[in-house]
Amino acid sequence: METSPARIDALEPHQVFVFGSNAEGLHAAGAARTAHERFGAVWGQGSGLQGQSYGVDTMRGLGTIEREVAALLAFAAAHPELEFLVTEIGCGIAGHTPGQIAPLFRAAPANVLLPQRFAAVLAGESA
């Protein structure tokens, strides 16, 4: 399984940076800050496609993350011309583990590239 890079500093035109956000779209730290500074994330927009990035609200619990990831996967399936580079959403400030988040990506289409630790969880390894 191809994985997303551990550090994403630049994107090709067909790539989308997937980051963890909050409902308010306050992109002040971590991957959200990178998305805002480099990849077009919109201040005040918490989720969905924003420039060359896609926000997933990770700050309102696992139920919200599950719904947000399902929306991302549906969007990715509808846009096979794009490649979605997922960061370790929910595993920083939100406080979740790869073991909690990775299973939400089991049905990810081939154009969704997961971080190495998520891929390891899905492959049955511990992360």
Give mean pLDDT, residues 85-101.
Answer: 96
Q: Is 41 helix (H, G, I), strand (E, B) or coil?
A: coil
Pairing of strands 48-50, 15-21: unpaired
Alpha-carbon distance of 120 to 48, in angstroms, equals 26
Note the pLDDT tens digit of each residue in 27-37.
999 999 999 99
pTM, two decimals, is 0.95
